[in-house]
Structure 1
Amino acid sequence: MDKRKYLMMIDDTIAKGQFKDDWDSLSQIQVPDWYQNAKFGIFIHWGVYSVPAFKNEWYPRNMYIHDSDEYKHHLEVYGDHKDFGYKDFIPMFQAENFHAEEWADLFKQSGAKYIMPVAEHHDGFQLYKSDISTLNAYEMGPKRDLLGEMKTAFEEQGLELTVSSHRAEHWFFMSGGKEFDSDIKEPLVRGDLYWPSMPEADLHDIHSPKPTEEFLEDWLIRCCELIDQYKPKVFYFDWWIQTEAFKPYLKKFAAYYYNRAEEWGAQVAINYKFDAFVFGSAVPDMERGHFAELKPYFWQTCTSVARNSWCYTPGNDYKSSIEIIQNLVDIVSKNGALLLNIGPKADGTIPEEDKAILLAVGDWLKVNGEAIYDTTYWKTFGEGPNNIEEGQFTDQAAKVFTSEDIRFTRKGSHLYATVLVYPENGEVRIKSLGKKSSLFHGIIEEISILGFDEKPTWNQAEDALLIQTSTVKCPTPVVFKIVLN
């Protein structure tokens, strides 16, 4: 690739397009309708790190950190780092049992509407055919354009292809290997798997360290190449792009992407964390966490089926499907979407535990999807005693909901009230819909239960809407469809 020519093409596209590389211009973007209506997507962490499958997807960094569990494990299983380094896992990543059509069929059954493979993780290995690097799945390992195969299979099932790039952290990710006799040795040049492996400073200091112009230009080209080759509908960035040095390049990327989408006639979005983008210029993502209250802007939670890892490891600490369904309902009621991650094995098979969770979510959505898809928020997200802990990384313990925890969504004249834990006695009290509620003064025409034939009895009392059922028994959330006049 002629990198100078590609950079000039990026600048030319921005100069001619509607969106310029400044925050005022980028803030004119509108969140796509399809994205706000989709509500549920699947994240996929799969790559060379799936070969050792130990601890988590940060194995390539931590195996070079002296005395870490990964470092010790590597010595015990693979030997000395100077003789067997991370690069030596690449030939072992064969994806021999990967069939994109099977993945697409499973994801369709799960009820997801958009699918987001990690195109390049912190380790610097690309899952797609690239002109900027030979360290990719098309030229090494499986020798297949894995992302391209996914795009074809997903779109045949009506699923939107979205992608993520975690390339920014590659600046420092392998730096530990320079501190002892390993296979990471200078001189490192652009194109090496381990380049640049710079010292890991305070990663929370947004003003330093500052990657070089060479690295930042390489990062920009990689991201734009993904856009041009695969036309993803959402482009997700992991953290560390919020640092000062990335800002000019982020603005260029966003302007290029938004202008390219205008050329395609497509609606696209960018995901970001930690105020990497100026508010209103992209969609904020809450990693492994929730908002406690309804937000007037669209947002997304990314989390995983496992608490301990984003990638496959034997013995993953899995969440229950009920917990995930409850979280989906809670997030959607607050004007958000859930991006749920799975971790395939190195050979391309999806673990049975991951499959079971996805199918359980899909079964629930087949019955209750009208309370999720194409809905929007009501006057309040819900009611009940549960206090959601707000913030990132708050999903290490399951949230404990009760039969008083109810979440609302709406569509036209229909209000959906989802009871997160259905009571054994079938008695439901919805305080927000009582006659004296400050939230509601309308007329209730009819109430039905999604997925059940029973017609509930109900009465709008002063302090609550009282609903009584006699045959409804369900371990998963139950949805009341309320027709308003």
Structure 2
Amino acid sequence: MQRRSALKLGVSALAGLYLSPLLGYSKILDTPVFKGTFEPTWDSLEKYQVPDWFRDAKFGMWAHWGPQCEPEAGDWYARGMYQEDSWQYKYHVEKYGHPSKFGFKDVINIWKADNWNPEELVNLYKDTGAKYFMAMANHHDNLDLYDSKYQPNWNSTKMGPKKDIIAGWEKAARKAGLPFAVSVHAAHAWSWFETSQRSDKKGALAGVPYDGKLTKADGKGTWWEGLDPQELYAQNHPLSENSLNDGTIHSQWNWGNGVAKPSEAYIENFHDRTIDLIDKYNPDLVYFDDTALPLWPISDAGLRIAAHLYNKSLQKNKTVQTVVTGKILDEQQRKAMVWDIEKGQSNSIEPLPWQTDTCIGNWHYDRGVYKDKRYKSAKTVIHTLIDVVSKNGNLMLNIPVRGDGSIDELEREIVKEIGVWMKLNSKSIYGTRPWKIFGEGPQQASAGALTAQGFNEGKGKPYTSEDIRFAQKDKILYATVMAWPENGIAVIKSLGKSNPHHTEKIKQIRLVSTGEKLKFKQNSDALEVYFPNQKPEAFYANALEILS
């Protein structure tokens, strides 16, 4: 096995020598890559077919957990703590000290994860109804949460908990019989951590640099003596254009618009770390928090990783049983991998399977969300799941994990409530495929349009009993009424006798949650279904099994 370039403009692969005409370098490579059917080009990867296990699973749960959860102060903490006047900066100074003296490397050092029980959490999520489980392998903070050959010092087996976090999650997932997924975010550390190069503009420490430019030579007499912070921060480079504007990074996420271009060494190190992750832990799904694939289009590193993963699976299984996800994909890229929509959903049935990822609070644990009880309700999660499934998608749900590795009692209550609905109604979810239309009702008319990688969740009006979502399986049509009809009658216009979508005579309707047969009348313009007087548990979404 040897690595091969993915560049269409010029490809050379000679016994481990990689030549890139785009990046203008050559190097001897350390990490072997599976050769096979899939070449690292979009033209080759578009032959990919999404495996049935993913299409059938519909619902996964995610532990978006790492050292940024230790402060329990929300998302992007390792960036925000270096943004003077931000609430995270102020929180950090008060809790830990000034970021010139106590930087993110020091947060990693105090993170111990001493209440982490991966088996208990994974079993809880399985019992709730999750059909696959995902763990974060690294974030933009650049710490690998596994025994990382190519990030040998700044990983969780050497730092903080001194535990192989991914190994623990994988063991728990395999024991539970769940496909195991990993999320990879570290490609962006190069520009994301640029805030650590700053210093205060005012106050007693104005002009004193934060710790983002420290080197190995600065560590004498510290706990990190002998270590190079640049292996973590990767800030030995000029700032991106407009770097002092905290919002600029969003427009530079696709490695354009004046972003500082990563070095060859950074790119290849990221590639090698990810191949090492894949080969050590054999994930069934790899989630990338990137536009398309990591470091695309300035590098083909992501293409090489995807080709490696597919070829590895193909060699083992005779068909590709692995999944790669990415964001903001064009038509060809959606064939090559699974489109992931962050905190949002499509407004129509997608021709290819897709996934939305969201969380009940913030991505990283935020004690403020807990104190203010601002978590998403089980009802909101279930409504999202039903809507996503009707449009050929899966839902990946993050339950924020505290720094110590536990989840709080409010989260646990929500997770268990989701499980109540799933136990009663999951036959209308698992293994289904979209029907001719995804649904009907007033809610969809108010739904927000996708923005960037998603971000349209919660923008529509609440669901009512007039909102119906459809799915089908084994010649059974499932119609889920998204609220309990107060007058006891659910009206489904798409199933009227004169409606072209459903031309067969309906013979029987059951309430999935109880199995009870329901009376109904199929009129020309609508189907009327008469609900029982007794409401079942979790009656905020009511799946009907319709046989013709």
Query: How far apart are the structure 2 equivalents of 1:25 and 1:482?
Result: 42
1:9 and 1:462 map into 2 onto residues whose CA distance is: 69
Match for residue 232 of structure 2 among 190, 193, 206:
193
Question: How many angstroms does 1:239 deviate by?
Answer: 2.6
Count of matched residue pairs = 477
Return the offset for 1:8.
4.0
For residues 246 and 353 of structure 1, what CA distance do their matches in structure 2 show?
43
Counterpart check, 1:261 vs 2:313? yes
Distance in 2, matches of 1:465 and 1:396, equals 29
- The two structures have a TM-score, normalised by structure 2, of 0.83
2:266 corresponds in structure 1 to 215
Structure 1: gaps of 5 or more residues: none
Does the aligned pair in 2 maintain the 1:21–1:251 contact within 8 Å? yes
Sequence identity (%): 36
1:152 to 2:171 alignment? yes
Quote how far apart the aligned CAs of 1:192 are: 2.2
Equivalence for 1:329: 386
Greater shift in the superposed pair: 104-113 or 348-357: 348-357
What are structure 2's unaligned runs of at least 5 residues? 4-15, 18-26, 200-208, 217-227, 242-247
1:229 aligned residue:
280
Of residues 29-38 and 125-134 in structure 1, the stretch that sits farther from structure 2 once superposed is 125-134
User: Are 1:114 and 2:132 an aligned pair?
Assistant: yes
Q: Equivalent of 1:30, from 46, 49, 60?
A: 49
What's the offset of the Cα at 1:57? 2.5
Name the stretch that deviates more: 357-366 or 118-127: 357-366
Map 1:19-418; keep pairs closer than 5 Å: 19-54=38-73, 56-133=74-151, 134-180=153-199, 181-187=209-215, 192-196=231-235, 198=237, 199-201=239-241, 202-203=248-249, 204-205=251-252, 206=254, 207=256, 208-209=258-259, 210-240=261-291, 241=293, 244-265=296-317, 267-275=321-329, 278-306=333-361, 309-316=362-369, 317-387=374-444, 388-391=447-450, 392-395=454-457, 399-418=461-480
Cα offsets for 1:12-67 (capped at 9, x unmatched): 523xx11111111111111010000000001211111111111x231110111122
- Deviation, 1:191, is 6.0
- d(CA) in 2 for partners of 1:397, 1:292: 12
Residue 247 of structure 1: CA displacement?
A: 4.3
Rate the CA distance shift 1:31–1:197 in 2: closer, same or farther, 3 A.
farther
Output one character per residue of 1:386-426: Cα deviation in whole Å (capped at 9) or x when no partner. 12223111235574111110001101121011001111221
Q: What SS does structure 2 have at the residue aligned with 1:416? A: strand
Mean CA deviation greater in 173-182 or 374-383: 173-182
RMSD of equivalent CA atoms: 2.1
1:67-117 residue CA offsets vs partner (Å, 9 max, x unmatched) = 211112212221122221111112221111111211121111110011111
Whole-angstrom distance in 1 between the partners of 2:327 and 2:285: 14
The DSSP-based 3-state class of the residue aligned with 2:315 is helix
Q: Equivalent residue of 1:97, what SS?
A: coil
Whether contact under 8 Å (2:55, 2:394) holds in the other structure is: yes
The answer on whether the counterparts of 2:493 and 2:526 sit within 8 Å (CA) in structure 1 is: yes
Aligned partners of 2:186, 2:484: CA distance in 1, in Å? 44
Whole-angstrom distance in 2 between the partners of 1:57 and 1:197 = 25
Shift of 1:122: 0.5
SS at match of 2:443: coil
1:177: Cα distance to partner?
Answer: 2.1
